[in-house]
């Protein structure tokens, strides 16, 4: 019986040593230490032994059991450690590999131009004002000296929601709303960027939806020379430091006098080229002194206050700046077009 136990111990230790994974090790454990295992069987047969032999064999059986038990535990710890190492090796990250570049998006060219213009005017002390795109006829037309039936309304046909509510045709209603909020007290110094809508047929230079940025200054002693100085500063920051501007008489119902503003050609420097159609000048915006009627309707005393306003199309500025030949590119979301402005 003693020999049988020693033999079992040796067998078990060999099998433990050979076990290559945790599953095999567990099979050895069940085979030798389980309730139906050979050691339990030996202990059951102890009844046949003499009283002197019993404690000796019992002690030996316990020793054998403990030896197998600790061999199993040691092997299990070793196998577990190996498994962790194997897993770590499989998941290893090679930090010396060059990284995969992250694809960066870019701002839409219009957003870029609008933000550039905003920054420029914020630098001159303006604040940004915004208003609703679905607008009342009153703010879009009437408050801007365009009463119902005024012929100039024909130039700005819109999309009507009802008789009195429409998609705004320009950002000027924001000016009317802001002046109204000031309750007749200056100064007002704002720029209003935003989307506007007109019932135009889309072609290379027209879009039924486009953007505008307008500026408005109302205070005491605002003169046309202030307007000219402001716009010259704008033109130089936007198109280059040697730019000059010129005013040509024009008509807008909400300003008097009104002007079209040209900038000297940034492409040829004013000698004449295809960009400026040989004239040396490029039209960039409309402007003028705020019409007294507009001031009065917004609650300002037109004897005390004067002001200037200007408005431009970021599409036109972007087309000039980046040499884009068709306004529809801005709204077609063609990724090949938009990607060109990645690092302009």
Binding positions for Mg(2+) = 256
Supply the minimum distance, in Å, between the C-beta of residue 292 and Zn ion: 38
Whichever of 207 and 264 has its CB closer to Zn ion, that residue is 264
The annotated binding site is made up of: 256
Q: Is 284 in the site for Zn ion (CB under 5 A)?
A: no
Tell me which of 182, 273, 283, 328 binds Zn ion, using CB under 5 A. Answer: 273
253-272 binders of Zn ion (CB under 5 A): 265, 267-268
Nearer to Zn ion, 57 or 265 (CB): 265
> Would you count residue 174 as binding Zn ion (CB under 5 A)?
no
Compare residues 4 and 267 and give the one whose CB is closer to Zn ion.
Answer: 267
> Could you tell me the smallest distance in angstroms from the CB atom of residue 270 to Zn ion?
7
Minimum distance, C-beta of residue 275 to Zn ion, in the bound complex (Å): 5
Closer residue to Zn ion in complex, CB, 208/267: 267
Q: Does 276 bind Zn ion (CB under 5 A)?
A: yes
Using CB positions, name the residue nearest to Zn ion: 265
Nearer to Zn ion by Cβ, of 265 and 327: the residue is: 265
Nearest approach, Cβ of residue 328 and Zn ion (Å): 24
**SS (HEC) of the chain:** CHHHHHHHHHHHHHHHHHCCCHHHHHHHHHHHHCCCCHHHHHHHHHHHCCCCHHHHHHHHHHHHHHHHHHHHHHHHHHHHHHHHHHHHHHCCCCCCCCCCCCCCCCCCHHHHHHHHHHHHHHCCCCEECCCCCEEEHHHHCHHHCCCCCCHHHHHHCCCECCCCEEECCCCHHHHHHHHHHCCCCCCEEEEEEEEEECCCCCCCCCCCEEEEEEEEEEECCCCHHHHHHHHHHHHHHHHCCCCCEEEEEEEECCEEEEEEEEEECCCCCCCCCCCCCCCCEEEEEEEEEECHHHHHHCCCCCCCCEEEEEEECHHHHHHHHHCCCCHHHHHCCCHHHHHHHCCC
Cβ 239 to Zn ion shortest distance, Å: 11
Which residues are at the interface with Zn ion (CB under 5 A)?
Answer: 265, 267-268, 273, 275-276
């Amino acid at each position: 019986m003693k020999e049988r136990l020693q033999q079992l111990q040796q067998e078990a230790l060999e099998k433990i040593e050979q076990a290559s994974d945790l599953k095999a090790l567990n099979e050895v454990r069940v085979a030798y230490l389980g309730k139906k295992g050979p050691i339990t069987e030996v202990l059951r047969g102890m009844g046949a032994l003499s009283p002197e032999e019993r404690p000796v064999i019992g002690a030996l059986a316990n020793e054998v059991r403990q030896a197998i038990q600790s061999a199993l535990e040691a092997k299990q710890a070793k196998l577990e450690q190996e498994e962790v190492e194997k897993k770590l090796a499989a998941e290893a990250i090679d930090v010396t590999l060059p990284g995969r570049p992250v694809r960066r998006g870019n701002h839409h060219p219009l957003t870029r131009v609008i933000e550039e213009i905003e920054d420029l005017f914020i630098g001159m002390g303006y604040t940004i004002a915004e208003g609703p795109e679905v607008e009342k006829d009153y703010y879009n037309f009437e408050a801007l000296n365009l009463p119902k039936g005024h012929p100039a309304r024909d130039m700005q046909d819109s999309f009507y929601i009802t008789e009195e509510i429409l998609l705004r045709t320009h950002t000027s209603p924001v000016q009317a709303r802001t002046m109204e909020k000031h309750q007749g007290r200056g100064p007002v110094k704002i720029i209003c960027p935003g989307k506007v809508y007109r019932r135009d047929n889309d072609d290379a230079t027209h879009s039924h939806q486009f953007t505008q940025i307008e500026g408005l200054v109302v205070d005491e002693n605002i003169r046309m020379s202030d307007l000219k100085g402001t716009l010259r500063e704008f033109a130089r920051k936007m198109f280059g430091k040697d730019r000059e501007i010129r005013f040509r008489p024009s008509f807008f119902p909400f300003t008097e006098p009104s002007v079209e503003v040209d900038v000297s050609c940034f492409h040829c420097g004013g000698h004449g080229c295809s960009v400026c159609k040989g004239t040396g000048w490029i039209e960039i915006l409309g402007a003028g002194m705020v019409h007294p009627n507009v001031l009065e309707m917004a609650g300002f005393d037109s004897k005390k206050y004067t002001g200037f306003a200007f408005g431009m199309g970021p599409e036109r500025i972007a087309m000039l700046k980046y040499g884009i030949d068709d306004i529809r590119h801005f709204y077609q979301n063609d990724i090949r077009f938009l990607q060109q402005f990645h690092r302009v």
